[in-house]
Amino acid sequence: MQKVGWDEVSAGTILDSFSQEVDNSALVRPEDRPYADTNSYTASVADWRVLKPVYNRDICIDCQNCWVFCPDTSIISRDKKMIGIDYDHCKGCGVCVEVCPTNPKSLLMFAEQDDNEEALSQWPEKKKKGE
Amino acid sequence: MAEKMELKEVEVWDGNMAYAQAMRQAQIDVVAAYPITPSTPTVQNYSKFLADGYVDGEFVMVESEHGAMSGCIGAAAAGGRVATATSSQGYALMMETLYQASGMRLPIVLGVVNRAIAAPLNVNGDHSDMYMGRDSGWIHVATYNPQEAYDMILCAFKIGEHMDVRLPVQVHQDGFISSHTAQNVRPLQDEDAYDFVGEYQEKNAMLDFTKPVTYGAQTEEDWHFEHKAKQQKALMDSRPVIDEVFEEFEKRTGRKYNRVETYMMDDADIAIVALGTTVESARAAAQIMREEKGIKVGVVSPRVFRPFPYEKMQEALANVKAVATMDRSAPGGTVGMLFNELSGALINTDKRPVLTNYIYGLGGRDMTIENLKTIIEETNANAEAGKLTVPTQQFSGLRGPKLSFF
Amino acid sequence: MSKTIKNLKQFSTANERFEGAHLLCPGCAHSMIVRELMNCTEDNLVLSTNTGCLEVSTAVYPYTSWDSSWIHIGFENAATAVAGAEAMYNAKKRKGTLPNPDAPVKFVAFGGDGSTYDIGFQWLSGAVERGHDFTYICLDNEVYANTGGQRSSSTPIGASTTTSPAGRVSYGEKKMKKDIVGIMGAHGAPYVAQVAPNKWKDMVKKLQKSLETEGPCFINAMSACTTEWKFDPKDTISVSDVAVDSLVFPLYEIIDGKELNITYRPKNILPVRDYLGIQGRFKHLFKPENQHVIEQWQKDVDARWEYLQRREEARV
């Protein structure tokens, strides 16, 4: 956000969550919310990442373990399906990969600069018991 | 609905009852309070009003003064009228939260009954607490008797809650001399008082769930300065609003208040500048000295000492040759606050009167007419000599060898 | 009213109210706990937070990560801040001046262990004693993490912190942590519980119970700290699993200060040694001269588990 002068900062250092009235945000999906510029939803922490999680839809069983444990509200689930990763807000901690129960995992960490399509093409095979 | 209280045209109230009655009439939503001498009766009186059905709002008896102001801040941010009262050590314990209330621009009213700060422990009146909090970003209003204490609490809500101000306001009165001394008070009837104060106007209310707000964000070096500057601007901009509120109050009551109060200053050669009940004593002494010695002395007092009435003090003291500033607080290794403020205000004026500083009345020591007469005589001597004839700072009313500095 | 949450799939339909791009460390358990709280109810929330990691990471001007009204005052007074807001709600409800009179609301305060066990304890105790209708959630990472890892009265024996460092003649912190859950239970609060984010279902159930219970409720939430406990950020959940399976963080609840229920019994109880071994803060305990501390740890954990089981049986 642009650094404004004293005359333009909010009185009392108040920050708004939304730019318009929202009856109950618990009932409104993020994509339908009028986020204010001052909501961190509009900001990015992508530059914190060294590694990034890549998500493989073909293997995912939509268990939502990654969703519940993500510390950065970065697993996007809609209608009980995992549909993607919010790379603006993901810090690359890797918790989602650790808690993923599938074999092989549906989420794996790759270098931040790696291409996602290429990462998917290198996905490991199912591990056998004892491997 | 809360019961209305029938009030006589003239009631006999002490300053604590005056605070409590004004708070009751303002129909406060939340009072979070903790008792401390000498402001305890304010809280007790208010509790009794609640017990007897005269109060609709919540009364939260918290576990400390820090908790009291914390609760007030939470309640005010939630969006409603809030007030409390305290003194001395309680005020000191509240200190952290005083800055937070003003920084968040929450129009809380705090009735202070001034008392010394330990050590040594002392329950009596001086201005140590008032001075401690003077830079906390609140509007500070001084009063000299229960009538003024009552009037200023009512004005405080109207000033602080004004949409162009939104700042917390402290009203001060002296411990015991004002707070525990029953005097005649002419109150407004309940409807009139509430009509004057007006309905609370919400701004950034946490309880307005359609507009969620974040209070108390962190600002570091890239934002903090701008926020504090904005707060200072708001405090300075409260001055015309205070004048407006005082005018409206005069229309309703005939009682005229000014940001700087002057007494017999029209032809004055010298002036005493003081705060609190001493203003009344100084006025009496001035009258006596005019009659007995023909000294043209007047009394000037900043009714509102934050925002400091810089220009109005310059104006009030434009024609005097010498000024005695009277500080009822241990100065902590320098000159008193009023001396400092006045030096700052007068250094760039044409006449630059000779300025002295008297430290007096600590821990409830009386400021006698005799002592005031001496101060007036010394100030008059300074005026005649056109320079200091006594040390800059003297302790007045103190036992033992004379103590002075600078 | 809390919604019924049967399984994770259903839980995942919640519309997040705690936004990303907050500044908590990668892998921080604080935000897992906060997300679960905000996702387990559809009621409006009025929140407060003591100074600490959560506060300095979620409201740094010009950004807020909160989609509900939120206030931070100081290090110690989040309980009182939300109590004041609750009092305002009651006053305005009575007077008929609420802006959204029919909207259901819950009041919740967050604090770290430093602000809960130490500097803010008086404010918490007062607010609970007065009976305000709110839930206080302690995000317990056993250290002043925000200020660089100083010991708090929640820091357990043997932990090396920046103010109880392990050294040539010291094994680190000398005392077992304060029993905050027992202390809050002794207030007679209607609902007090200990939770861990890895046991999400147990946690959601307890969070919902605390929101639905009238009066002051207290939740001590284990918050494994990747930075100060010194483990890899990806391991937050696995470290938490060992914490509850070794009974270092037993999961239980206390109702009305009396009835104690253990809500999770590990099938295989792991030795405390396993818990200590996966965190850098306890590394020095594995030197031969510090073995006695590990033994002491195990004894304390065993004794605590025995006590909890007896309390549960006794029903008093």
Query: How many CB pairs below 8 A link A and C?
Result: 155
Positive or negative: CA dihedral C235, C240, C243, C244: negative
Q: How far is CA B284 from the centre of its chain?
A: 21
Q: Does C107 touch chain B (CB under 8 A)?
A: no
Mean per-residue pLDDT for B315-327? Answer: 98
In a domain, residue A117? The reply is yes
Write the CA distances from C136 to B203, C128, C181, integer angstroms. Answer: 26, 9, 12
pLDDT (tens digit per residue) in B153-210: 999 999 999 999 999 999 999 999 999 999 999 999 999 999 999 999 999 999 999 9
Rg of chain A over CA atoms, in angstroms? 18
Residues A13 and A29 occupy one common structural domain: yes
pLDDT (tens digit per residue) in B249-280 = 999 999 999 999 999 999 999 999 999 999 99
Clarify whether residues A81 and A51 are in a common domain: yes
pLDDT in tens, chain C (316 residues): 568 899 999 999 999 999 999 999 999 999 999 999 999 999 999 999 999 999 999 999 999 999 999 999 999 999 999 999 999 999 999 999 999 999 999 999 999 999 999 999 999 999 999 999 999 999 999 999 999 999 999 999 999 999 999 999 999 999 999 999 999 999 999 999 999 999 999 999 999 999 999 999 999 999 999 999 999 999 999 999 999 999 999 999 999 999 999 999 999 999 999 999 999 999 999 999 999 999 999 999 999 999 999 999 998 7
Closest CB to A11: pick one of B166, B223, B225: B166
Regarding whether A113 and A55 lie in a shared domain, the answer is yes
The full set of domain ranges for chain B reads 11-253, 260-405
| Amino acid at the residue B127 | H
Same domain flag for A95 and A117? yes
Report the SS3 class of residue C41: strand
For chain C, the chains sharing at least 3 beta-carbon pairs closer than 8 angstroms are A, B
Please check whether residue B233 touches A, CB under 8 A.
yes
CB-based contact C246:C198 (threshold 8 Å)? no
| Strand C135-140 to C217-222 pairing | parallel
Same-domain check for residues A51 and A97? yes
How far A79 CA sits from the closest chain C CA (Å)?
Answer: 6
Shortest Cα–Cα distance, A37 to chain B (Å):
13
Can you tell me the mean pLDDT for B123-127? 96
Whether residue A130 has pLDDT greater than 90: no
Residues A48, A7 share a domain? no
Please tell me the total count of domains within chain A: 2
pLDDT at position A131 over 70: no
Residue A131 lies in a domain: no
Domain containing A93 equals: 44-123
Compute the distance between CA of residue A53 and CA of residue A62 in angstroms, rounded to an integer: 16
Residues of chain A neighbouring C24 (CB-CB closer than 8 A) = 71-72
Buried b (16+ CB within 10 A) or exposed e, B29-38: bbbbbbbbbb
- If you measure CA to CA, which chain C residue comes closest to B55? C91
Concatenated DSSP letters of B348-388: TSSS--EEEEEEE-GGG----HHHHHHHHHHHHHHHHHTS-
Most distant CA pair in chain B, distance: 69
CB pairs under 8 A between B and C: 171
Is the ipTM above a cut-off of 0.90? Answer: yes
Which member of B66, B82, B212 has the closest CB to residue C69?
B212
Tokens of B366: 């009386």
- Give B3's pLDDT tier (boundaries 50, 70, 90): very high
Check whether residue A56 and residue A91 sit in a common domain.
yes
Contact C15 A39 (CB under 8 A): no
Q: Is B4 on the interface with A (CB under 8 A)?
A: no
Tokens of B225: 């300065």
Closest-CA distance of chain A to residue C231, Å: 12
pLDDT at C234 (0 to 100): 98
| One domain, residues A19 and A57 | no
Q: Does residue A119 belong to any structural domain of this protein?
A: yes
| Assigned CATH class of B11-253 | alpha beta
Domain covering B260-405: architecture: 3-Layer(aba) Sandwich (3.40)
Name, in order, each residue with C-beta under 8 angstroms of B41's C-beta and a sequence gap of 6 or more: B14, B16, B17, B20, B179, B180
Strand partners, C136: C109, C218
- Token pair 């000299």: residue: B144
User: At B146, is the secondary structure helix, strand, or coil?
Assistant: helix
A36 with A89, same domain? no
Instruction: Say whether both A34 and A49 belong to one domain.
Output: no
Q: Tell me how close the Cα of B155 comes to any Cα of chain C, in angstroms.
A: 22
What CATH number is associated with residue A53? 3.30.70.20
Residues 6+ apart with CB under 8 A from A57: A82, A106
CB proximity B226 to A under 8 Å: yes
> If one looks up domain C8-314 in CATH, what number appears?
3.40.50.970
Are residues A61 and A81 located together in one domain of the fold? yes
DSSP B100: H
Interchain CB contact of A41 with B (< 8 Å): no
Predicted TM-score (pTM) of the model is 0.98
C111, C139 contact by CB (below 8 A): yes
Strands (DSSP E) found in B148-282: 169-174, 183-185, 213-215, 260-263, 270-273
Query: Given a contact as 3+ CB pairs under 8 Å, which chains touch B?
Result: A, C
Q: Does residue A75 lie in a domain region?
A: yes
Per-residue pLDDT band at B386 (split at 50, 70, 90): very high
Tell me which long-range contacts A86-89 makes (C-beta under 8 A, separation of at least 24): A86/C20, A87/A46, A87/A52, A88/A43, A88/A44, A88/A45, A88/A46, A88/C20, A88/C21, A89/A41, A89/A44, A89/A45, A89/C19, A89/C20, A89/C21
Q: What is the sign, positive or negative, of the torsion defined by CA atoms of C96, C98, C102, C104?
A: negative
On whether both A69 and A109 belong to a single domain, the answer is yes
Q: In this prediction, what percent of chain B has a pLDDT beyond 90? A: 100
What pLDDT shows up at residue C207?
Answer: 98
| Residue A101 domain flag | yes
Residue A48 falls inside a structural domain: yes
